Amino acid sequence: MGRAGTPTPSQSAPRASTPTRVLTASPFPSSAAGRSLISDCKERVQVVVRCRPLSEREIAAGHKSCVLIDKERNTVQVHNASGRFSSEFASKIFTFDRAYDESCTQRQLYRDVAYSIVHSVMCGYNGTVLAYGQTASGKTYTMEGCDYCPDLWGIIPNAFEHIFNHIRQSQSSDSFLVRVSYLEIYNEEIHDLLSPDTNGRKLELKERPETGVYVKNLTSLSVNSFADINHLLMVGKRNRAVGATIMNQDSSRSHSIFTVTVETSSLAPQGNGKMHVRVGKLNLVDLAGSERLAKSGATGERFKEMTKINWSLSALANVISALVDGKATHIPYRDSKLTRLLQDSLGGNTCTVMIANIGPADYNYEESVSTLRYAHRAKSIRNKPQVNEDPKDAIISEFQSEIQRLKAQIQASQPEIDVMRRLESLEQEKLMVTEQLQQYKEKVLEATTNQRMSEQAIACLKADLEGKAQIQLECLKAEKERSEEEKEKIITQLLKQLREMEHQNQELSRGKEDRALLESKLKVLEEKLIRGTNSGGKNVTEQVKQRSQDLASFGHAFEEQKLFNEECQQKMIEMERFIPPEEVAKIMQKMRWDDDSEVWIFRSSHSYSRNSTDNVPIQRPASAVGRSRPTCQKALQFLAQGTTNPRYLDENVLKLELESPERVTFDYCDPIDRIRAESQIHQCLKDLDNGNAYFSYDSRPSPLPQYRSSPSRPKSAHVSQHARI
């Protein structure tokens, strides 16, 4: 088994070039320093805070920083910088294991925080690095960083480099097996990011008493180098769910867990020749950020993702609270799939570091305080890490036993193998001799055949050459004919273009002649205008004066017509606003237009008939003797029948009250509305003092009464809604 990898090579696939970092001296702590760091993180969860700088969008929006970090005392102070929150949001101070501001580099963060966890994994412990915080706070940058620059690598690629550097510097007798898996939790569904199945097959969580919680059918691949493991990381990142929100254009919409399992096989310290196996598992967790609907603007699918993310983070917070609370009898690991997968990392057999990422902008004050509270609470979680020695599920032990079994079989069958090897060598020599004889026979047969067929081949070759020459000659003739045809076409086109050019020149010359004629006419007109006379000998000044007078008279007539139209429009407004439509209809029935006198004539009652074409007056019926008024035949019939309907009783005609029409005016109780109505009425009637009559009564024109607007109108009487005037 090779030292740097596994007995089975990793899957071959084209890989993008990955920048490598050549180290002359190790940038990380020594082994002794690593052991001291391991002892520090065995008992409880280590919590680190990292604050990113203000983004360009936050600076453009005028936001200020509300976070102060003291790196010497490892304290984080959050204050209400711009006063946008109420007085209850006072300054708050939190203390953590380490605190970093925007000046912290990726290398420094890995050296101080994650190095001890990775080193403990190489020693056989389980380790977890967890990034937690609000959306757009820099979690993915902290965990993954930038691929193009080694100095900007995040914790995950630095951990890969650390693992394989440790393998290269280890003893020659040690053997290592490195396996990786990559999954995401999207909408509370587990997806395999390294599976070739791109349909998003859902995976199930299972649990065993020996190994604990695991994911069934999760892809686990062996790797031999940094390039192999980094290639798998890139493949998983392309399959991970990412979406755009108002706060972050590349927001992670799922929780991701990259797991690296390192199995180490070394000789036992007792010197009995037995192999000692240790298994360390490293969980690199990049959580999706918590969101608020008012800030992220999530709708549709993004809203559903936000709901699931916040729900799983709430379940994680409940687990942290239950672990810290000494009185809790139940830890709600089963509330979400995230907490079940992190069960060993929180209160179990794991060395855990939580990196709380926050943003410095003052409008994220509440989210930053909430993140710091949960992170501060997680400091009190106690873990119980132990070295995983000779576990039952170690694959490297199975590989070693299989290798030993194969070696024993080879040694037991060594004599038979020698005989078989000798027989195989003889068979190979026999085959070689047989092949040489066959080659000699083929060469002799080929020479004889060539000699017999030489004359025929020459004749065939001659005929073939003659045929080819004839074909080439015909092709040359055809090309010559085509060239002559093309030449004739070109000449025809040139002649056609020449004729078109001659035609254009003729049109151009005619245009020049027409232009010269127009210029001469223009000069004659200019001379006439300068002399002030036209063809008739009449002075142009007199013509202009006469035209001006005509124009003035026309303008006066136009003004009169305009005033008449305005007057008519005013009267139409009065009719529309103050006269009911049914009354207008009655009046129009009694009016007719006289074309001779061009006036409206009001018809009298004695000349009115139902038929407009009949000018004969309607005759009144003869008076009935003994009755108070004339009675029609229909009324007499109903009276004879003894009806009591007052409509047909002539005795009570004078006793009936007149039917009053429905009221069409309104009372303005509000003084402001009344003043506004009076001003509008005065505006409509102010130009009617000198109005002209436009109709006459009985063919006798009579002027309309002069309407004058009174300075004030009497207040209308207040009546009920159904009162009539």
Annotated binding site for ATP: 133-140
Q: Please answer whether residues 603 and 695 qualify as being in contact, where contact means their C-beta atoms are separated by less than 8 angstroms.
A: no
Give the annotated binding-site residues.
133-140
Amino acid at 705: P
Provide the angle, in degrees to the nearest 10, between the axes of the packed helices 155-168 and 226-239. 160
Compute the distance between CA of residue 429 and CA of residue 355 in angstroms, rounded to an integer: 70
Pairing relationship of beta strands 251-252 and 242-243 according to DSSP bridges:
antiparallel
Are the CB atoms for 52 and 360 separated by under 8 Å?
A: yes
With residue 184 as reference, give the H or E element that holds it: strand 175-186
CA distances from 173 to 3, 165, 223, 262 (A): 8, 16, 20, 16
- Smallest Cα–Cα separation from 581: which of 678, 658, 662? 662
| Length of the chain counted residue by residue | 725
**Gyration radius of the chain over CA positions:** 55
Question: Quick one: CA dihedral 518, 521, 527, 529, positive or negative?
Answer: negative
All residues at 6 or more sequence positions from 469 whose CB lies less than 8 Å from its CB, including other chains: none
Separation between Cα atoms, residue 470 and residue 713, nearest integer Å? 121
Tokens representing residue 58 in the block: 């936050």
Nearest to residue 285, comparing CAs of 257, 327, 321, 248? 257
Give the tokens for residue 651: 């005795």
Give the tokens for residue 565: 């139209």
The DSSP call for residue 604 is P
Which stretches within 210-260 are classed as H helix? 226-239
For residue 107, the Cα-to-chain-centroid distance in whole angstroms is: 35
Residue 238 tokens read as 């392309």
The answer to whether 143 and 156 are in contact (CB under 8 A) is: yes
For tokens 């949001």, the residue is 89
- Confirm if 34 and 330 have CB atoms less than 8 A apart: no
Q: Where are the beta strands (DSSP E) in 603-718?
A: 695-697, 700-701
Q: Give the chain's largest Cα–Cα span.
A: 162
Instruction: Say if CB 60 and CB 46 are below 8 A apart.
Output: no
Buried b (16+ CB within 10 A) or exposed e, 35-48: eebbeebeebbbbb
Q: Which residue has the tokens 């604990």?
A: 212
The whole-angstrom separation of Cα 390 and Cα 265 is 9
Q: How far is CA 532 from CA 519, 521, 551, in A?
A: 20, 17, 21
Query: What is the SS3 assignment for 637?
Result: helix
DSSP assignment of 34-66 equals HHHHHHHTSSB-EEEEEEPPPPHHHHHTT--B-
